[in-house]
Every structure is written in structure tokens, then in C-alpha cells.
Amino acid sequence: MKIFLMAYELTKNTWQGMPRYAAELYDEFLNLGLNVEFVAKGVIKTPILHDNFFIPYQVLRKSGRDTIFHAITARQSIYTPIITRRCVVTIPDIIPLIEGKIGDSSKPSLASLYGIYVYKMAKKTPKIITISSLVKDELINILKVPEEKIEVVNFGINEQFRPISGNNFKKEKFRIGYIGGLVKRKRVDILIESFKILIDKHPELDVDLFIYGQKYFKNLANQYPELLKLRKKLGLKNVRFEGLVPYDKIVEAYNSFDVFVFPSKYEGFGMPIMEAQRCGVPVITMEDAKIPDEVSLKTIKCKDKDEVADKIFELLTNENYKKKVVKDALKYSQKFTWERCAKETIKVYEELL
């Protein structure tokens, strides 16, 4: 069996989940002694040209009797099932179809239109891998994909995410943390408002809020300017916007937090949740969030901003409670490995040969 992974980019040194997914699969396949190649963007730097012309050309050129083509996202699968039936596509979420509702795009109408086209073509792929039970249900109920075509293969979490011995990154102050995007879907405003409630209720606490995320002023989908205004309105001098944390420092960043709050409204998987838990940090999410059960199972789910503030306080002041939350989440999150992800993916390939 020969495997061709098709994506726009393959790298672990990024905040984006799918290039990291591609890179982890590639490395695991090599470790297992498989014949694997990666079809990269090469000289074509424009994603639409890469997906609509370069990928089909490569599929035609590389096609063989025992070759499996794996599109890392739906965009790379647009024409592949027309050329060959030995193809698989990973669909991580349905965000391209709902960008207008969740606020991820500055041009939601155009994004949704292209998303409908891409997903309509992806449905023709013989086998579809989803990264969570939530996305599988959405594909069945919203896109009407036959259930027998879908296999759930969860992401893994890289072994670099771990508690740092001695935790030299703790400061004298408590640290509440967030790592992720600053778009509307992530609901960082809920975190900031919860933090205001916390320090108003407990002025004795010496605590800072660290927010790591890309700062944009001109991207209409990015809420950074609005979040700055909210910080000023609430008079919060101890809310710090740190920008993107360098990827080689991300484990240190997680370990520096006493509590990680992830108020996102929707996630196909939610890697920051598992990454924080693997670093021994308790995670708070929201009850109304659409996050896969297998990912949010060991998080503390809150119904509103007041409860978020109360749970943060309990985690900061009740050491026994915090230790139990951390122990349970750490043990559970260690089940999610890239080796398991790769082996389950190979089983999907084998069904096509």
C-alpha cells in the first residue's frame, strides 16, 4: 500500500490543527514503516489554485492500483473521487457552512457559498474520516452523508504536552489562561467578563488573566479591538493580551496557568482543551458549547459567567479539588495518541483496497 497525503501545508510548528494533523500522521506512518508521500503546495501558493488544479494533477500522475489518496481537508478532495475510488477525506468540522452564524469569517456569504460547493464534492468520497462524534452527527443530520461512509478517528495529542517538573513558570500571582483565536466563535468576551466578576467578588485574590491569540485590527472577523475596548470599559489592568505564543514556548505557556478557560461556542475537536489537560491544568468550558463529548468529558462545564468565576475561585483556593480534577483529566487525555490515530486511519485505508 502506498499512501499520498494531500494538504496545503504540513507542519507541527503552527496553531492550526490540520497542518499539525497532517504532520503527525506523516511521521507516524513513517514510524510504522509505510510507504507514504506528501503532496505539498510546492510552487502554487494560492490555496484555491492548489486545491482545484495542482491536487487533481498530482492524483492523475500518481494513481496506482494499491495507492490510497488521503485529502487532509475537504478542499483537497474536490475532484479526487472523480479520478479514483481509492480516496479518503478528513472533515474536521462544518465551520465553512456556518461561518455566517458563528463569526469566523469577514466575508461569511462568500465563505459559506464556497463551503457548500466543497462539501458537496467531498460527500462523493468513498470514505470520510471525522475527528469526533459531534462532526459525524453533523455530517449525517446536516449534510445527509450515509453513516456507513463515516469513520470517527480522534486526534492525538503530542507527547511534548506534559506537566513540567517543579513548574518553574509559576509566578507569585495566580494566572488564568486562554490560548486560541480571538474570533467571535471563541467568546473570549465571556472570559473577560467572568474575570471581572471574580476579582469584584474576591478582591483579595492576586490574579492575572493571560490571553494568547493573534492580534488583528483590520480583519473584520477578529475581535481584538472590541476586546481591548471591553478591558478598558471594565477597568481591568490585569488582563494581558500576549499575541501568538511561539510554538516552541506553548508547553511553557500552558504550564504557567493555574486554570485554563476555553469558552468557545463550537469546536470540531478542541485541541487546546486536551493540551492543557496533558500539561496538568484544569479546564473550564461552557455548558451550551458544541464541543465533542469525548473531548469535554473531563472539563468543568459552567452555565454562565458567574459560575465560571466561582469555579475559578474554587480551583485557586481548594487544592484537593484541583488535584482531583487535574488527575482525572490527565489520565483521560493520555488515551489520545497520534499512534492510535494513525493505526485507526490505516484500517480505513485497508477497507478501500
Give residue-wise pLDDT tens across range 80-89.
Answer: 888 888 999 9
Q: How sure is the predictor about 39, in pLDDT bands with cuts at 50, 70 and 90?
A: confident
Query: 174-333: same fold as 2-156+337-352?
Result: yes
Question: What pLDDT is recorded for position 16?
Answer: 78
For the chain, give the mean pLDDT.
Answer: 89
Q: Whole-angstrom Cα distance, residue 16 to residue 73?
A: 12
Q: What is the pLDDT of residues 4-34, one digit of tens each?
A: 998 888 887 777 788 899 999 999 999 999 9
Q: Whole-angstrom Cα distance, residue 72 to residue 6?
A: 6
Tell me the domain boundaries of the chain: 2-156+337-352, 174-333
Indicate whether 243 pLDDT > 80.
yes
Q: Helix or strand or coil: residue 136?
A: helix
Q: How sure is the predictor about 169, in pLDDT bands with cuts at 50, 70 and 90?
A: low
Range ranked top by mean pLDDT from 8-22, 149-163, 206-220: 149-163
Question: What pLDDT is recorded for position 160?
Answer: 93
Mean pLDDT confidence for 296-304: 97
Q: What is the pLDDT of residues 89-136, one digit of tens each?
A: 999 998 877 765 665 555 556 556 666 777 777 788 999 999 999 999
Report domain 2-156+337-352's class: alpha beta
* Cell numbers found for residue 51: 486545491
Place of cell 475532484: 79
Question: In terms of pTM, does the model score above 0.85?
Answer: yes
Indicate whether 2 pLDDT > 80.
yes
Phi and psi for 301 in degrees, rounded to 5? -95, 125
Q: Whole-angstrom Cα distance, residue 135 to residue 94?
A: 7
Mean pLDDT confidence for 46-67: 80
Question: What pLDDT is recorded for position 198?
Answer: 98
Look up the CATH superfamily of 174-333. Glycogen Phosphorylase B; (3.40.50.2000)
